[in-house]
Amino acid sequence: MNELIAHEVEPLQIFLIAYGSVGAIWMVGIIAYFSIQAAARGQGWGGSGVGRSRPLPRVRKWLRFIGASALLVAASLVLWPLLAALHIGDLIRRWVEKRNRPAGLVRSFKVERSHLKEPLMVEEIELSEMVSDPLGGVPWVPFGHLNSEWEAFKRQLHPTDQIYSFAAEWQEDWGLTVLIEGYVIKRGARLSPHFVVSRSVVQAH
């Protein structure tokens, strides 16, 4: 009878050892993963305080560290399949979101012919876009605090180029429709580069 019980228990022991070992490997892996991520952000991940702007006293910090470590070990050894499933699920969700992200982010925004308003001379634009402020909060130059970007835009002008003003409703990431206004260089059939003066949310979906 004892031999029979010993025989029945052995596979269970093997299973538990294997289960715990995978959990331990998982724990080491996850600590390494988060350490690398924290290092990449230039931050440690052991010194935070929930809801506090001042550091905790040293004793409480150690107690919290020991408690958190014990919880991490217990959770990793026992609940590692659940933690692994959650982590993998999160990675898949991020990958799917990235893959399905619609084109139309500001950085990939392109002026199209339908966005064009009117051709303008540089002098006309600079006259109409002078920014002044009675309280002196902006330099008295075209486009104010955005003047250096305007100057960089102008440097890209070729002698035969035209500048058009434009206004475009654009679908952005995060479900926003924004109105983007500015100026674009028309070089033959090509509309590029552009200079954005204003971007405002028209509709949040």
Check residue 146 for interaction with other proteins (CB under 8 A): yes
Contact 128, 71 (CB under 8 A): no
Question: Is residue 154 a contact residue for other proteins (CB under 8 A)?
Answer: no
CA 112 to chain centre: 27
| HEC-encoded secondary structure of 117-184 | EEEECHHHHHHHCECCCCCCCCCCCECHHHHHHHHHHHCCCCCCCEEEEEEEEEECHHHEEEEEEEEE
Lookup: tokens for 176 = 């926003």
User: Of 21, 25, 46, 156, which lies in the binding site for other proteins, with binding defined by CB under 8 A?
Assistant: 46
Number of other residues whose CB lies within 10 A of the CB of residue 177:
14
Instruction: Work out whether 197 is an interface residue with other proteins (CB under 8 A).
Output: yes
Shortest Å distance, C-beta 60 to other proteins: 10
> Of 59-88, which residues contact other proteins (CB under 8 A)?
61-62, 65
Q: Answer whether 183's CB lies under 8 Å from 153's CB.
A: yes
Is 58 a binder of other proteins (CB under 8 A)? yes
Binding mask 92-131 for other proteins (x = CB under 8 A): --------------x------------------------x
Rounded Cα distance between 183 and 163, Å, is 7
Q: Segment contacting other proteins (CB under 8 A): 51-59, 72-80, 88-96, 163-171?
A: 51-59
Q: In the complex with other proteins, which residue's Cβ is closer, 48 or 192?
A: 48
Is-contact 105 177, C-beta < 8 A? Answer: no
- Choose between 15 and 65: whose C-beta lies nearer to other proteins: 65
Distance (Å, rounded) from C-alpha 28 to C-alpha 35?
10
CB of 49 or CB of 81, closer to other proteins:
49
CB closer to other proteins out of 7 and 52: 52
List interacting residues with other proteins (CB under 8 A).
42-44, 46-53, 55, 58, 61-62, 65, 106, 131, 133-139, 144-146, 149, 179, 196-201
